[in-house]
């Protein structure tokens, strides 16, 4: 049996510890501080789409999405058109504010939100106030079409780039297309702060309002005074130091993820499977490499998960679509296809080990085992 092979785990370097040590030496352990400030500045420079880009370091990507939803003005009963094939953290913040998620099916070219289904949803819900878009597994969605549809219907675009940091659509990095955007630094992401996230916007006023909410809506007075409900959402100065060190290696991580994806493509040549697709004018970060079993294959993704677990290899089915989740059973789901794309993806899709510390020999073992099951 081989050593444990995981989907994606943190890969640490030496620079992270230097930034953390500085925080200890200066006894700046609490939230806020020089590491947070510098992490935000360095991330804005990395994304570098707009000179006035503002970043706000937070305790989680979910916190960033929650503040984005509040900034978009979502309140009780408001319709938000959401990616259906995603993790629950993408859509839960809509519910926090009393909004009503309506789920949008994916298209086959990227497995992301289908522009045709989105337009169909606006015909049914012309009052929809916002679109919550997630880039699946680090693959950019069809942003030209989606941005145009949002502009046409005067809807706020919120971009969940939790899985897509460093990915590009036509040269522009994910996390910069929406009016409000979020990235995640959870332990399994392409870079990590252990836990954490960041809100990204080009609107300084919105950034300042989010900062206010994230620090318990404390008024600038000598005593504690609050005129609004706030949240304890700021990032620790210590973990921000980890993020600064990780950011220095982001492009290296993306390159290694790409190499893993390409080895899976080569390894599964002439097999009844296909890998997660992407558009020619995009550069995914290949956070997770996935395969889709051909309809002729008799074994199911869950059966492969069980077989590989016997070899200490972690795999899992694709995200279970939100419209199939029991908690959202009463929410509407919009598809432009006769057979929903996401239901088919979930039935046949599998996430594969994509850890950049995995050796080529270990990856070949995964490929050989899967081929033997097919």
**Domain encompassing residue 85:** 15-247
Judge whether 6 lies within some domain: no
Mean pLDDT of the chain: 97
Q: What is the mean pLDDT of residues 20-49?
A: 93
Q: What is the pLDDT of residue 32?
A: 87
Which secondary-structure segment (H or E) carries 169?
Answer: strand 168-169
Find, among 280, 292, 285, the residue nearest to 259 by Cα: 285
- Between CA 88 and CA 258 the distance in angstroms is 26
Are 293 and 348 within 8 A, CB to CB? yes
Choose one of 190, 225, 247: the last residue of a domain.
247
> Of 204, 227, 247, which closes a domain?
247
Distance CA 169, CA 181 (A): 15
Give the tens place of pLDDT for each residue, 154-210.
999 999 999 999 999 999 999 999 999 999 999 999 999 999 999 999 999 999 999
Q: Are residues 240 and 297 in the same domain?
A: no
The mean pLDDT of 312-325, rounded to a whole number, is 98
In a shared domain, residues 50 and 137: yes
Q: Quick one: 181 and 258 in the same domain?
A: no
d(CA 164, CA 170): 14
Question: pTM here?
Answer: 0.96
Which of these three, 247, 282, 311, is where a domain ends?
247
Chain segment 333-371, per-residue pLDDT in tens: 999 999 999 999 999 999 999 999 999 999 999 999 999
How would you class 295 by CB atoms within 10 Å of its CB: exposed for 0-12, middle for 13-18, buried for 19 or more?
A: exposed
């Amino acid at each position: 049996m081989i050593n444990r092979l995981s989907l994606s785990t943190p890969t640490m370097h030496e620079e992270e510890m230097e930034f953390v040590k500085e925080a200890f030496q200066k006894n700046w352990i609490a939230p806020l501080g020089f590491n947070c400030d510098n992490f935000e500045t360095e991330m804005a420079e990395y994304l570098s789409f707009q000179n006035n880009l503002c970043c706000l370091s937070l305790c989680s990507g979910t916190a960033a999405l929650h503040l984005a939803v509040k900034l978009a003005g979502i309140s009780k009963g408001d319709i938000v058109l959401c990616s259906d094939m995603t993790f629950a953290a993408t859509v839960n913040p809509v519910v926090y504010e009393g909004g009503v998620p309506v789920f949008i099916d994916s298209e086959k070219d990227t497995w992301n939100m289908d522009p045709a289904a989105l337009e169909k949803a606006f015909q049914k819900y012309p009052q929809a106030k916002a679109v919550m878009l997630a880039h699946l597994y680090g693959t950019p969605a069809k942003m030209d079409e989606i941005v145009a549809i949002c502009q046409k219907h005067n809807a706020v675009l919120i971009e969940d780039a939790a899985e897509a940091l460093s990915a590009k659509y036509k040269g522009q990095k994910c996390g910069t297309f929406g009016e409000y955007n979020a990235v995640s630094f959870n332990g399994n992401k392409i870079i990590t702060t252990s836990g954490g996230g960041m809100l990204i916007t080009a609107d300084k006023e919105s950034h300042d309002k989010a900062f206010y909410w994230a620090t318990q809506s404390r008024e600038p007075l000598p005593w504690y005074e609050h005129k609004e409900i706030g949240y304890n959402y700021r990032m620790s100065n210590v973990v921000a130091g980890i993020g600064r060190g990780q950011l220095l290696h982001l492009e290296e991580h993306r390159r290694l993820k790409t190499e893993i994806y390409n080895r899976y493509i080569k390894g599964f040549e002439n097999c009844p499977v296909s890998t997660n697709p992407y558009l020619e004018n995009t550069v995914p970060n290949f956070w997770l490499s996935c395969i889709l079993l051909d309809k002729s294959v008799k074994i199911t993704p869950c059966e492969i998960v069980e077989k590989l677990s016997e070899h200490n290899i972690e795999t899992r089915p694709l995200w279970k679509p939100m419209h199939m989740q029991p908690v959202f059973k009463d929410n509407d789901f919009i598809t432009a296809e006769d057979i929903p794309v996401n239901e088919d993806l979930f039935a046949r899709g599998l996430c594969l080990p994509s850890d950049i510390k995995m050796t080529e020999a270990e990856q070949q073992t995964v490929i050989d085992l899967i081929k033997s099951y097919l």
